[in-house]
Amino acid sequence: MALQISELNIYPVKGLKGISVKEAEALEKGFRYDRRWMLTDTTGKFISQRETPMLALIHTAIIGESLVITYEDSSIMVPLNSEHYSGSKEKVTIWDDEVEARIVGKNFNDWFSDVLGEKVWFCFQHESKKREVEKKYGANSMVSFADGYPYLFISDASLKDLNDKLDQPIPMNRFRPNIVVANSKSFEEDTWRKLSAGDAIFHCLKRCARCQVPTIDQETGKMGKEPTKTLATFRKYEHKVLFGMNAVVEKQGLVKVGDVVTLL
């Protein structure tokens, strides 16, 4: 059977719960709306599930012209159009990168600060702002607020292979992929270099080294030892646990669930 897209996901706010979609527009920095927003502390340093696992419990949805963010019985509506944002421009940091971002507005800062119990900024990255993928791999490609790369591919078969080794199987959302591919062999994505899907063409750059986020249950926000403990027994290379393939887009275009994936 042909390789085929089985799942597409976007994560509008870095670290918050993602959105499963039927189609997505592949742009240079990632799918449209993917990780264009981010939370930071008041020095501009990014906040993620690594130090704040409860971010997994904050839901996102795109409804009309708004990004709707919900935690328990409270929600806020964020305009997708950044022209409505009232906050200042600030320098924010993601790992070793410093980029300019727009604070969405004081009321949004206050909402997130109340939810998290600490003062935070809620930031937006305009499409015109530049943040380069690591030059060693990225060939001058740009990325949004994602950790390092605009796209992450994982195959259904790789998750099945892992789950066959675990006492308790885990869902794909632990790994927060953008594109899930069906009908491949397990860990076949390790060998992919260039592929087409829908109207887009992607370059696969390097295998994804995993942090502790996959150990966080995305439904409870609780951290454990798996799947990293088991992955380390058979997916460890140069002290890094690998799962999934990072990629950039060469040709932008629409990608849909069900599209055939062609290796080029």
Domain segments of the chain: what residues? 4-263
Residues 231, 60, 27, 90: what is their CA dihedral angle, to the nearest 10 degrees? -100
What pLDDT is attached to residue 138? 63
List residues bridging with 153 in a β-sheet.
179, 245
CA–CA gap between residue 215 and residue 34 (Å, rounded): 22
At 161, which amino acid appears? D
Which residue shows structure tokens 């994602």? 146
Is the pTM for the entire model greater than 0.85? yes
What pLDDT is attached to residue 136? 78
The CB density around residue 67, as the number of other CB atoms within 10 Å, is 21
| CATH H superfamily, domain 4-263 | PK beta-barrel domain-like (2.40.33.20)
Q: 162: part of which helix (H) or strand (E)?
A: helix 156-163
CA–CA gap between residue 65 and residue 254 (Å, rounded): 19
> Can you list the positions of beta strands (E) in 191-252?
194-197, 200-209, 236-237, 240-251
Tokens of 232: 């380390």
What pLDDT is attached to residue 139? 67
User: Which residues of the chain, if any, have pLDDT below 50?
Assistant: none
Under 8 Å between Cβ of 55 and 70: no
CA–CA gap between residue 166 and residue 187 (Å, rounded): 17
What pLDDT is attached to residue 188? 98
Beta strands 23-27 and 253-256: pairing type? antiparallel
What pLDDT is attached to residue 105? 98
What pLDDT is attached to residue 137? 77
CA–CA gap between residue 185 and residue 202 (Å, rounded): 19
CA–CA gap between residue 233 and residue 161 (Å, rounded): 13
| Residue 229 to residues 12, 42, 218, 236, Cα–Cα distance (Å) | 29, 34, 18, 10
**Coil, helix or strand at residue 113:** helix
CA–CA gap between residue 66 and residue 19 (Å, rounded): 14
